[in-house]
Amino acid sequence: MFRTSLIAAAFVLVGASTAVRAETLKYAFQGTLNTLDPYTLNETFTVSTLGNTYEGLVRRGEDLSIEPALAESWEMLEPTRWRFHLREGVKFHNGNDFTAEDVAFSVDRVRSEGSDLATRIDDDVKVEIVDDHTIDFVLPAPNPILHYEWDTFYIMDKEWTTEHDAVKVTSASDTAPNYASLNANGTGPFAITSHEAGVKTVFEKHEGWWDTPTHNLDTVEFTPIASDATRIAALFSGEMDMVYPIPVQDIRRVNTNLGTVALTGPELRTMFFGLDQRRDELLYSDVKGKNPFKDVRVRKAIYQAIDIEGISKKIMRDLSTPSALMISPLLFSRADEFSRHPYDPEAAKALLAEAGYPDGFSVGMDCPNDRYVNDEAICQAVAAMLARIGIKVDLDAQPKAKYFASILAPGGYDTSFYMLGWTPGSLDSWNPISNLMDCRDDDGKGSPFNIGGFCDERIHELTEKVLRETDTDKRTDMIAEIYRIAHDNVYYVPLHQQGLAWGVRDTIELVQRADNHFKFRFVTKN
Amino acid sequence: MILFAARRLFQALIVMLVVSFLAFTMFRFVGDPINQMVGIETSLEDRAALRESLGLNDPMPLQFARFVAGALRFDFGTSYQFRQPVADLFAKRIPATLELSLTSALFALVIGVPMGIHAGLKRESALSKLFMSLSLVGISLPTFFIGILLIFLFSVTLQWLPSFGRGDTVQIGSWWTTGFLTVSGLKALILPSITLGLYQMTLIMRLIRAEMMEVIRSDYIKFARARGLPDRIVHFRHALKNTLVPVVTITGLQLGSIVAFATITETVFQWPGMGLLFLHAVQNVDIPIMSAYLMLTALLFVTINFIVDLLYFLIDPRLRVGRP
């Protein structure tokens, strides 16, 4: 009797262990994972994907809040000295221990020549190792957002990197392939076991991960699929568990198809138009001898002529949120104080007449056609809307490679009227302010992406202060003031935050973060 | 003979040089590679330094000379996107493209020849009419559309065949990977091969049909029939044999274009071959990959033409007479 029950128990155990299937997640993205070196390319997809293998001192949760990761806690000993207490017992995928040495090494490497993530930590920040699991950062001036971008500043293993002669960041002009660009060794929940750039990358669960996994995956396979139709077909046929992005016009089809759902949500990228407010005469316009965009009434007329709800409905198929700000409302606590100048073509016409252009004028508009969601369609619609108030737009839509080459500093800011999208990497207002709103000179010194080149004394003054201010309320006040000035003066014509659209099989549960990062640790497969 | 070959070889070299020059000048109008290589927040100084280190600031003739010097040693530089030598990337991708091209050429022959014979012999039959209208579809529909159609029928609706990729591959030797040896690899080959081979198939079919109709009217076929030979022998031994000469020539030449123009099929099916690599390179202004691909394509065509020229010389005695 005793014996049979033992045998029965053994059977139950065997049954239980075979019931646990090895779960594989297969997913596709439109672009390729070009390199595994975490410092080579500061671009959302690369950084997001490598974040499953590598980890930073901090990480961001489902709602983008900062959480401890490789650092268990941190404190500001003085405004210019930050102390990070590192997690003990963390191991890299190759079994090496994670220590303060690795952090110091990674800081050096991420700031070295060839790194595209050098903005993660300034050159004049000093690093002091206190002990194996304590490290100090000494700043030249206070910086309350020092660690805001460190969720994507990944810590590499000093020993492994040195051993494989990969201390130098893989640079584009290298002739020999760098070991770190073809292999990865992080501390994250998944290790990369095979990688062929542009073909397939395989991730395996890291058994020795320090955190308790909430996912149930053993293997993850990533395949780039460039063609939209093929990517969606692969989801429909069940070959893929998840594909992203899906074109807005296909969202309905993905939802009505049995077994698949389209997950949509707001993204952090803000789309907007900029106007040349620096030159005394526009490069592309029939107005000679003066620049109409220097007149706030003309800028406001353009703003009020744009039917943003119409764009949202007809072009974005409701996958966009009209915005009054140059930053996503998810990232600025006082966003609800701002509302758009209302859509009002009559008022716009009156403003134009008041500014001395009762019959309007003509202007050239530059637009990318393969960079943002429906970018060219938006530009065409806006051109038509502006025609209604008498502004004749000559639209030039180009591929991104040509577009950015001409409108940015190296191309001499060769534009009068342009479209751009901006995602603040640090998820903080200082990023769009310092990149888009401060003054610049002709070479782009200052705020390099202020392509229109406007210069507001008060914004300039406040920008410096925002960077140094450690008191949160005071800082938010100053940021709000900057946004208020920009809004009242219509330095930019914000459009909307475009939406995210991921296609998922209904057996998959996952978290769609607003920064468009796909983290395997949030996935469960049923 | 040797003089003839040498002259052709010299001409081939000039063609290669001209192609490389044209390709190289074209890239100046594709856009700025730097923007694709860095994130948007990268400072202007870093961008300028990168441009300098890649030699993009050097005068055109110098850049071109450097490119030709490298190409002569089969060194095409390092890909801007992947940071790997272009030669390595190509080596990894060539097996996929060649296997796809061969399979689709085979498909075109195996299906196209019998269809052509039937349509040529029994012009009025219903089946022939069906073949003819099908071939019209094959010739007039664009490749990518056929591919998407097949995907939606066989992958999404019926779920018989995969919609993308190569399936499981087996490594042979140090660098060749093959999909011929696994079930999923073979299944993955079917749709892209049909897509890529459909045009060639209809071409072969129509060619054979026309030739067949021509030959069947000739005197020696009438004599064969008069001798009381069975239809099978007349059709296959006497007629078909004589239609094959132009077919073989065309197929040979078409193989070159299948390899070179698999780009669209590879994109639709995410087939990890050279064409996909090239198209991706164009979007990202990856100049080293683009130039190497164009050079290789030019080399392929020049080589095939060179061989065809030599073959004509051997086959056609008239070429030999009256030439110095």
Note the pLDDT tens digit of each residue in A501-513: 999 999 999 999 9
Identify which of A119, A172, A239 has the shortest CB distance to residue B37.
A172
Average pLDDT over residues A281-303: 95
Give Dmax (Cα) for chain B. 87
Inform me whether the pLDDT recorded for A1 exceeds 70: no
More confident residue, B141 or A71: A71
Read off the tokens for A289: 């001898």
Closest-CA residue to B102 (of B278, B293, B246, B262): B262
Contacts of A117 in chain B (CB under 8 A): 39
Closest-CA residue to A106 (of A46, A38, A44): A38
Whether residue B41 and residue A182 make contact (CB cut-off 8 A), yes or no, is: no
pLDDT for residue A173: 60
pLDDT for residue B324: 45
Closest-CA distance, A394 to chain B, in angstroms, reads 21
Inform me whether the pLDDT recorded for B9 exceeds 80: yes
Tens of pLDDT, residue by residue over B87-114, are: 888 988 989 998 999 999 899 889 988 8
pLDDT for residue B317: 64
Average pLDDT over residues B36-64: 80
Is A86 in contact with A155 (CB distance < 8 Å)? no
pLDDT for residue A175: 63
Class of residue B43 by CB neighbours under 10 A (exposed 0-12, middle 13-18, buried 19+): middle
Inform me whether the pLDDT recorded for A11 exceeds 60: no
Is A136 in contact with A81 (CB distance < 8 Å)? yes
pLDDT for residue B4: 78
Left (φ > 0), alpha (ψ -120 to 50) or beta: where does A66 sit? beta
Inform me whether the pLDDT recorded for A377 exceeds 50: yes
Identify which of A41, A230, A239 has the shortest CB distance to residue B268.
A230
Average pLDDT over residues A177-190: 91
**C-alpha gyration radius of chain A:** 26
Average pLDDT over residues A449-469: 92
Residue of B nearest to A222 (CA): B165
Confidence of residue B318 (pLDDT cuts 50, 70, 90): low
Q: Which of A25-29, A319-323, B36-40, B318-322 has the lowest mean pLDDT?
A: B318-322
Alpha carbon distance A172, B34 (integer Å)? 10
Confidence of residue B316 (pLDDT cuts 50, 70, 90): low
pLDDT for residue A273: 97
Q: How many contacts does A have with B, using Cβ atoms within 8 A?
A: 162
Q: How far is CA A200 from the centre of its chain?
A: 23
Q: Which residues of A330-354 are buried (b: 16+ CB within 10 A; e: fewer)?
A: bbbeebeebebbebebebbbbbbbe
Inform me whether the pLDDT recorded for A3 exceeds 50: no
Helix runs in A20-67, H state only = 44-50
Alpha carbon distance A295, A280 (integer Å)? 12
pLDDT for residue B3: 81
Contacts of A116 in chain B (CB under 8 A): 38-39, 42, 46
The answer to whether A409 faces chain B, any CB pair under 8 Å, is yes
Closest-CA distance, B66 to chain A, in angstroms, reads 14
Whether residue B50 and residue A401 make contact (CB cut-off 8 A), yes or no, is: no
The answer to whether A24 faces chain B, any CB pair under 8 Å, is no
Identify which of A42, A199, A401 has the shortest CB distance to residue B38.
A42
pTM of the prediction? 0.84
Alpha carbon distance A185, A195 (integer Å)? 13
pLDDT for residue B219: 87
Helix runs in chain B, H state only = 2-26, 33-37, 44-53, 60-72, 86-121, 126-140, 143-150, 183-216, 219-226, 231-233, 241-260, 263-268, 274-283, 287-315, 317-320
The answer to whether A48 faces chain B, any CB pair under 8 Å, is no
Inform me whether the pLDDT recorded for B161 exceeds 60: yes
Alpha carbon distance A150, A76 (integer Å)? 16
Alpha carbon distance A175, A186 (integer Å)? 25
Tens of pLDDT, residue by residue over A91-119, are: 999 999 999 999 999 999 999 888 888 88
Average pLDDT over residues A375-394: 95
Q: Which of A185-189, A247-251, A504-508 has the lowest mean pLDDT?
A: A247-251
Average pLDDT over residues A193-211: 93
Closest-CA residue to B25 (of B49, B50, B57, B60): B60
Tens of pLDDT, residue by residue over A128-177, are: 999 999 999 999 999 888 999 999 999 999 999 999 988 888 765 666 67
Average pLDDT over residues A215-229: 93
Query: Residue B150: what residue type?
Result: L
Give residue for tokens 């469960």: A524
pLDDT mean across residues, chain A: 90
For residue B111, the SS3 value is helix
Class of residue B99 by CB neighbours under 10 A (exposed 0-12, middle 13-18, buried 19+): buried
pLDDT for residue A47: 92
